[in-house]
Amino acid sequence: MNTLNIDLGEEVGLIGDVHGNLPFLIEAIFQLEARGAASLVQLGDFGMLWDGSAHERAGLSTLNKVLRAMDKDLVVILGNHENYTMVNTVEPAADKSRTIGRVVILPRAGRLRAGKKSVGFLSGAGSVDRSSRRPRRSWWPDELPTEEEPQDLVDDLAPRVNILLAHDALRGPALKNRLASSRNLWNANDLAYAEAASDVFTARATAVLSDGGLVLSGHYHFRHTANEMFTRPGKTGAPIWLRSEILSAEWDEGAVGVLDTRTLAVQTWSIDQAAARIGYDALTTRTE
């Protein structure tokens, strides 16, 4: 197991898929700060380490200026659309996290705290458009954890966690139903690959979460909430109830939110694109 010395506090700021969209990310951070969030968690497809360009480096520098001014870290759980070659060039600390200024990229799996709640995290997801991407140019096999990496989270001898932060989501009946109409859009092999990865994620989540636990996710680019019964893996196959809260991406409805860890309530909203652009232009004109 790998327990990081991080406490996200009682009110956790949540940010859905960013895909390198800095105006969205910065506006989301400003709004979460204004709402009094104790911490900032980005739920994968961060995309701010993608092409290594001067433009991208300037963006990371602007992001760090904002985080330093607020004295906040941005805690990132990696998704599937990340350049893992670039991520791996950042030297990991003893706890396997990677830090770029105030951006803390969590390792593949592990545990931390949020107020009185125990929290697990598990990064990555399977790309359903894998065959349309170029290996190690726009798709990396590292998008999925190895067999060993989740052992930093899933431990039969350790107490279960209340909350799981992830990029992929619980593949329950409501999510399957919602995705059913788009299944014919994808290459059959890609679809089988992504769905199998999501089933493996779901098995790991059901093994590590306590009954009534909550999974916070990105990846699907829509806002989704479901409270469903799952079966724990193993011989006993005990039924447990888990809640899934998926945040959307960038400018879509429900891409930003706050988790109250005392009640496990999640409140989400969306970021107005025009307002974010005006704020971002004012910020970059000031800081450049």
User: Cβ closer to Fe ion: 45 or 152?
Assistant: 45
Spatial distance between the Cα atoms of 257 and 210, rounded to a whole number of angstroms = 23
* The one segment of 9-17, 61-69, 141-149, 177-185 that binds Fe ion by CB under 5 A: 9-17
Smallest separation, CB 210 to Fe ion (Å):
28
User: Cβ closer to Fe ion: 45 or 56?
Assistant: 45
Spatial distance between the Cα atoms of 253 and 271, rounded to a whole number of angstroms = 8
Q: Which amino acid is at 94?
A: A
149 binds Fe ion (CB under 5 A): no
Smallest separation, CB 21 to Fe ion (Å):
11
Spatial distance between the Cα atoms of 38 and 229, rounded to a whole number of angstroms = 31
Smallest separation, CB 187 to Fe ion (Å):
18
Smallest separation, CB 211 to Fe ion (Å):
30
* The one segment of 17-25, 62-70, 108-116, 156-164 that binds Fe ion by CB under 5 A: 17-25
Q: Footprint of Fe ion on residues 56-85 (CB under 5 A)?
A: none
Q: Which residue is nearest to Fe ion (CB)?
A: 45
143 binds Fe ion (CB under 5 A): no
Using alpha carbons, list the distances in angstroms from residue 40 to 72, 154, 220, 257, 258.
Answer: 8, 24, 20, 10, 9
What sign has the CA pseudo-torsion 190, 193, 199, 201?
negative
User: Cβ closer to Fe ion: 33 or 252?
Assistant: 252
Tokens 């798709």 — which residue?
A: 139
Q: Which amino acid is at 218?
A: G
* The one segment of 37-45, 112-120, 133-141, 191-199 that binds Fe ion by CB under 5 A: 37-45
250 binds Fe ion (CB under 5 A): no
User: Cβ closer to Fe ion: 17 or 152?
Assistant: 17
168 binds Fe ion (CB under 5 A): no
Collect all residues with Cβ–Cβ distance below 8 Å to 126 and sequence separation of at least 6.
Answer: 80, 143, 144, 168, 193, 194, 195, 196, 197, 198
45 binds Fe ion (CB under 5 A): yes
Spatial distance between the Cα atoms of 275 and 282, rounded to a whole number of angstroms = 11
Spatial distance between the Cα atoms of 72 and 62, rounded to a whole number of angstroms = 14
Smallest separation, CB 179 to Fe ion (Å):
14
Contact 44, 14 (CB under 8 A): no
17 binds Fe ion (CB under 5 A): yes
* The one segment of 13-21, 66-74, 154-162, 251-259 that binds Fe ion by CB under 5 A: 13-21
What residues make contact with Fe ion under the rule CB under 5 A? Answer: 17, 45
